[in-house]
Amino acid sequence: MELLKSFYEGHCINAYQFFGSHKTKKGIQFNVFAPNAKKIFVIGSFNDWQETHEMQNNNGIFSIVIKEAQLLDQYKYRIYDQNMHFVDKCDPYAFYSELRPHSASIIYDVDKFKWNDKKWMNARSNHDSQPINIYELHIGSWKFIDGEIPTYKNIAQPLVKYIKKHGFTHVELMPINEHPFDGSWGYQPSGYFSVTSRYGTPDDFQYLVNYLHQNNIGVILDFVPIHFVKDSFGLAYFDGTPLYEYPNDHDANSEWGTLNFNLWKEEVRSFLLSAAAFYLDKYHIDGLRIDAVKNAIYWNGNSNNGINQGAIDFLKRLNFMMHHHFDHILMFAEDSSDFPYVTKSTFENGLGFDYKWDLGWMNDTLKYFALDPIYRQYHHHLLTFSMMYFYNEKFLLPLSHDEVVHGKLSIFNKMWGSYEQKFAQLKALYVYQFTHPGKKLNFMANEIAHIREWDEKEEMDWFLLRYPIHDAFNHFYQKLSNLYLKKEALHQYEYEGLSFKWIDADNAGQNLYSYTRKSENSTIIVVLNLSGNTYHQQKIGVEFEGSYRIILNTNDEKYAGNGNDNPIFVKSVNENCNHMYHCIKVNIAPFSAIILEKKHRRK
């Protein structure tokens, strides 16, 4: 059988079509890979959980057809090891599972849903010169519906309305694979093919994706192919031996109290390749964000331990095969290492990701904005350094859930200063993010200036929008986010070095930064004042003579600022400034940002 041949060779992306439970004319077919098991029984609701159905062993693959079993029945595998000790395991390939704390697998048909997203699927692209503005979302804590945790179905309409209003192009869902512990947020999986039953059924999740696609919103999933839970009902010592994990404790145990996948093993590679492909195939997912890539590149995530070549080979295979078999899907690397060529093609000896999270940009930026302005002149480079390496990879700029938990404070509370000063700087921070080259990602609640840290047990503090200053910030965020979508200069040619140029990267004494973003149709000027001083008639060098229109000023009263004391159009004068023959003069308030635009005449 060709599928099994590729499974053993580590190139199988559709193992879920054979393994697991499947409805046939004769009953439910069960197949499980457990080469070191002595014997296996299928126990479930159809046989009162008794050892009445023993599977047949065919070279390590155990199989049985049970005519009494039906769709939605619960089941487990009772696996006896070579010493005749048994453990009841959930099915590694189960499509659906019991709600925690229970852990039985559930027989399910994921092929009956009727999709209506053909137009979206045919129009997908790699977004190289297009905007990507991602809203990272934890389904269970976004917004309670009628006082209850939302479901895949009832979150769909309010979520789509909100996303479109705020100018997001994609939703990134934190892991929706089954997991036993709520506090792991899904990053400690137990069911790799099973969407979590916390929010509904597989059909319900397909409904959510379908509805997002019908409204031109892409869906990215967090995928965790590096480690899995130790719980006895899961993959750990599945057949009495380390079948999925490394055989030695040092390599097997991760820093998160989980087990690392043995990414050198071909059957494990096929399992994970198939899990990734399953979501792209059966759920029409548009992209995968691969978690903890550094922990795959280096043994236990530590560069001092050396490169894990087997894991690197797996990542290359994962990216190559997903791109080869699924048109225009996106692969994102959450990677905090400086390992080279993460977003270079596998044909050029790269890892083959489309985009890499720029965690260096995130750390430097948040460190700068936490500084007392008195000391910022000595750390001016924190906001300029990112452009020194930006063209080495295709970067995405993230302000993710990782930055607003575990005592790290919310993005709002990371800002230096008083309550009002924090708001002013938060607006400047977002102007910097949205006008800096690179795709964008923000975690839910960043857009309303959330004060407290994220808690997976509570919904967002929507009541904040009743306060004028938070409401004003939210309107500012909507304006900025939609400017990013509409202005080609903010995303066109951004990875080719054609769209960005510093006007003045070295004005540390005034804590001023200025730069241009350019497209064929317009030039955008960005000025950031990150000091506590007001600068009157500040000279900014410009390339083109003429009038520049202010399209956003964070100090506008409608954004809870003190008012814009600049005209709508600022006309250039013939004075040398910043090594250019023309300049404009603007008034810029403390902790504020101005965006100006000059349209180019069409030839």
Active site residues: 291, 334
Judge contact between 291 and 258, C-beta under 8 A: no
Integer Cα distance of 52 and 338 in angstroms? 55
Q: Which amino acid is at 318?
A: L
The DSSP code sequence of 511-534 is TEEEEEEE-SSEEEEEEEE-SSS-
Integer Cα distance of 415 and 586 in angstroms? 25
Residue 588 CB contacts under 8 Å (≥ 6 apart), including other chains? 512, 527, 529, 534, 535, 538, 555, 594
Q: Which amino acid is at 82?
A: Q
Q: Tell me the CA distances in angstroms from 86 to 22, 48, 64, 356, one per residue in order.
A: 24, 18, 19, 43
Q: How many residues does the chain have?
A: 603
Integer Cα distance of 2 and 18 in angstroms? 11
SS3 238: coil
Integer Cα distance of 446 and 400 in angstroms? 9
Q: Which of 381, 411, 366, 368 is nearest to 531 (CA)?
A: 368
SS3 131: coil
Give me 252's structure tokens.
């097997």
Alpha helices in 458-583 (DSSP H): 468-486
Residue 459 CB contacts under 8 Å (≥ 6 apart), including other chains? 141, 142, 143, 144
Alpha helices in 240-308 (DSSP H): 249-252, 266-282, 294-297
Judge contact between 453 and 411, C-beta under 8 A: no
Number of alpha carbons in the 13 Å side-chain half-sphere of residue 139: 27
The Cα angle at residue 40 between residues 47 and 9, in degrees rounded to 5: 130
DSSP letter, residue 298: B
Backbone angles phi, psi at 263, to 5 degrees: -80, 5
Integer Cα distance of 514 and 594 in angstroms? 10
SS3 233: coil
Q: Cα 154 to the chain's mean position, in Å?
A: 22
Integer Cα distance of 337 and 359 in angstroms? 9
Give me 431's structure tokens.
């102007």
Integer Cα distance of 379 and 318 in angstroms? 40
Give me 172's structure tokens.
């990134």
Name the packing angle between helices 468-486 and 419-435 (round to 10°).
10
Integer Cα distance of 546 and 39 in angstroms? 82
Q: Which of 569, 567, 559 is nearest to 593 (CA)?
A: 559
Alpha helices in 106-165 (DSSP H): 118-123, 139-142, 156-165
Q: Which residue has the tokens 């939703």?
A: 171
Judge contact between 423 and 440, C-beta under 8 A: no
